[in-house]
Amino acid sequence: MLSIGIILGSTRPGRNGEAVARWVHQLARRRTDATFELVDIADFGLPLLDEPVPPSLGHYSKDHTKAWARVIDGFDGFVIVTPEYNHSTSGALKNAIDYLYGEWNNKAAGFVGYGSAGGARAVEHLRLIMAELQVATVRAQVMLSLATDFENYSTFRPAPQHEGSLAAMLDQLVAWSTALRTLRPAAMHVA
Ligand SMILES: Cc1cc2nc3c(=O)[nH]c(=O)nc-3n(C[C@H](O)[C@H](O)[C@H](O)COP(=O)(O)O)c2cc1C
């Protein structure tokens, strides 16, 4: 069975991202074409990148890196739930992405963004970053507005049409994750 990780990209106390990621998980898990698991980067306690060797060489020295690598390696694709900070993604998510290399390669990702402009600018940056990691990003994305999908900018109340956007994105993500699985060797990349 295809395995998709839903990555919660905000670690901020009081973050809106947690409710968004839980909503994605709740809807995604009704599907029968993949299994979906929530991955909270806050759970990994990753400091600012502290590996001496570039991740593309796959020589991980720290326990936190190995734990993070094991989890990412186990997925065929990703839903990336991203906030928008200063027209990009969060520093915490960029740092978590930078920690690894081979574990991301030849997989697919879809995005759920939120912000004043639906997180669109954060998602555009992430598309460039993920391309460098050989992650194919699907076109359909979910764009949640802080003004209309959150009461008082804090309580998540998504407009009904977002369920359709999420389903469209997941359809593309499952299709591409399935196709890309054929490119990957059975051997895992974890050092
Ligand atoms: C440091 C910082 C920068 C922000 N910059 C933007 C921005 O450029 N565009 C935007 O739409 N929202 C911006 N916001 C608002 C966030 O999108 C909003 O606070 C959102 O809830 C953040 O996600 P989180 O609550 O999961 O951390 C910013 C928030 C923070 C904390």
Q: Residues 76-87: pLDDT tens digits?
A: 999 999 999 999
| pLDDT, tens digit, 9 for 90 and up, residues 82-101 | 999 999 999 999 999 999 99
**Distance (Å, whole) CA 2 – CA 176:** 11
Ligand 1: which atom is nearest the Cα of residue 9? 26
| Atom 17 (ligand 1) nearest CA | 115
Q: Give the per-residue pLDDT at 16.
A: 98
Q: Give the per-residue pLDDT at 128.
A: 98
Average pLDDT of the chain is 96
Q: Are strands 77-83 and 107-115 parallel, antiparallel or unpaired?
A: parallel
| pLDDT, tens digit, 9 for 90 and up, residues 38-54 | 999 999 999 999 999 99
pLDDT of 189 higher than 50: no
Confidence of residue 185 (pLDDT cuts 50, 70, 90): confident
Q: Give the per-residue pLDDT at 133.
A: 98
pLDDT of 29 higher than 80: yes
* C-alpha 10 to ligand 1 mean position (Å): 10
The finding on whether 87 has its CB within 6 A of some atom of ligand 1 is: yes
The finding on whether 85 has its CB within 6 A of some atom of ligand 1 is: yes
Q: Return all residues near 2 (Cβ < 8 A) that are at least 6 apart.
A: 33, 34, 35, 76, 77, 174, 177, 178, 181
Q: Give the per-residue pLDDT at 188.
A: 46
* C-alpha 85 to ligand 1 mean position (Å): 5
**Distance (Å, whole) CA 91 – CA 88:** 9
The finding on whether 66 has its CB within 6 A of some atom of ligand 1 is: no
| pLDDT, tens digit, 9 for 90 and up, residues 113-162 | 999 999 999 999 999 999 999 999 999 999 999 999 999 999 999 999 99
The finding on whether 116 has its CB within 6 A of some atom of ligand 1 is: yes
The finding on whether 17 has its CB within 6 A of some atom of ligand 1 is: yes
Q: Are strands 77-83 and 3-8 parallel, antiparallel or unpaired?
A: parallel
Answer whether 132's CB lies under 8 Å from 97's CB: no
Confidence of residue 186 (pLDDT cuts 50, 70, 90): low
pLDDT > 90: percent of the chain: 96
| Atom 30 (ligand 1) nearest CA | 85
CB atoms within 10 A of CB 40: 17
SS3 sequence of 108-163: EEEEEEEECCCCHHHHHHHHHHHHHCCEEEEEEEEEEECCCCEECCCEECCCCHHH
**Distance (Å, whole) CA 72 – CA 100:** 9
pLDDT of 34 higher than 60: yes
* C-alpha 145 to ligand 1 mean position (Å): 11
SS3 174: helix
Q: Whole-angstrom distance between the N-terminal and C-terminal Cα of the chain?
A: 25
Ligand 1: which atom is nearest the Cα of residue 86? 8
| Atom 3 (ligand 1) nearest CA | 85
Please give the angle made by the CA atoms of 186, 190 and 191, to the nearest 5 degrees.
Answer: 125
